[in-house]
Amino acid sequence: MRIASVNAWGGAMADELLTWLPGSGADVVCLQEVTRTPGLSGWTSFADAERSLPQRADLFEDVRGVLPRHQGHFAASDSGPVHDGAGARHRQDFGLATLVAEDLTVCGLDATFVHGRFTDHDEWPTGDRPRIALAVRTVAHDSGRSVWVVQVHGLRDPGGKGDTPARRRQADRLAALVRRLRGPEDLVVVCGDLNLLPGSETFAVLAETGLTDLVRDADTRTSRYPKPVRHASYLLISDVTAVKRFEIMAEPEVSDHRALIFDI
């Protein structure tokens, strides 16, 4: 089973992302910063007080279009206004998407907020936005082993990626989710853009659940990201002996984040 995780950047590099995904060989695709605007396609513009970004109107539908034989699951953390090319305002959902190959049985689904609760914003805030975790349980028919793949997009703080009380509460909620879901024979994978530094206390909290981080202090950003701090995305697993291959993908670039790819 191959699992890939990447912050999709709202589809800002949609051509590259949508070209790469079908040939990636990923059985489970975990995407953060996924957009969904019912009834609208093409491009939109997102803006808060800090930045303005191009985004796909419905990246979830775009990805489903290039992975038609994957089962798609989307969970929104919040929603807010975007504008199309004519300047018209639309409400866009923002969240996580997990897509699972059709030959894998999905036998469990869960989504829970690790920070805040769902909010429909009149205007997008620069920080303190809600964060959700999306968990999918699959069974590999060749081995019969069940795997929980949990992805999360960690809290963004304009002040940086250091530990804060809010991030500690987020870690505790994520650890509680893992404990609640995990069966005695389940393999657990936690991945995503955690928005943390490698030395964060979050990793100690998750280690108490039996999870080991594979990324550590590796660079997980691409050339599209100009800032000096190069840490963001992580992948943790409950049994490191199950890992056959792990790669932090430098090429091709499909986002301002590098994709994390591993085989179990």
Q: What is the mean pLDDT of residues 102-120?
A: 97
Listed by start position, the domains of the chain span 2-263
Q: Any idea what DSSP says for residue 102?
A: T
Hey, what are 105's tokens? 């049985």
Whether residue 124 is predicted with pLDDT greater than 80 in this model: the reply is yes
> Of 169, 176, 107, which is closest to residue 138 (Cα–Cα)?
107
Q: What is the mean pLDDT of residues 125-145?
A: 91
State whether the Cα torsion 24-7-134-41 is positive or negative.
negative
The reported pLDDT for the residue numbered 57 is 98
With tokens 């975790």, the residue in question is 133
- What percentage of residues in the chain have a pLDDT greater than 90? 95
Instruction: Write out pLDDT tens, residues 17-54.
Output: 999 999 999 999 999 999 999 999 999 999 998 889 99
Whether residue 143 is predicted with pLDDT greater than 80 in this model: the reply is no
Whether residue 188 is predicted with pLDDT greater than 90 in this model: the reply is yes
**HEC string for 24-52:** CCCCEEEEEEEEECCCCCCEEEEECCCCE
β-pairing, 119-120 vs 70-83, is: parallel
Instruction: Write out pLDDT tens, residues 206-262.
Output: 999 999 999 999 999 999 999 999 999 999 999 999 999 999 999 999 999 999 999
The reported pLDDT for the residue numbered 144 is 80
Distance from C-alpha of 47 to C-alpha of 64, rounded to nearest angstrom: 26
Distance from C-alpha of 189 to C-alpha of 111, rounded to nearest angstrom: 15
Whether residue 173 is predicted with pLDDT greater than 80 in this model: the reply is yes
pLDDT tier, 141 (very low <50, low <70, confident <90, very high otherwise): confident
CATH number of 2-263: 3.60.10.10
Could you write out the DSSP letters of every residue in 167-207? HHHHHHHHHHHHHHH--TT-EEEEEEE----TT-HHHHHHH
The reported pLDDT for the residue numbered 106 is 96
The reported pLDDT for the residue numbered 52 is 93
The reported pLDDT for the residue numbered 251 is 97
Structural contact between residues 51 and 227, judged by C-beta atoms closer than 8 angstroms = no
Whether residue 140 is predicted with pLDDT greater than 80 in this model: the reply is no
With tokens 């199950």, the residue in question is 242
**Average model confidence (pLDDT) for the chain?**
96
The reported pLDDT for the residue numbered 99 is 98
**pTM, rounded to two decimals:** 0.97
Instruction: Write out pLDDT tens, residues 78-110.
Output: 999 999 999 999 999 999 999 999 999 999 999
Hey, what are 259's tokens? 């994709």
The reported pLDDT for the residue numbered 222 is 98
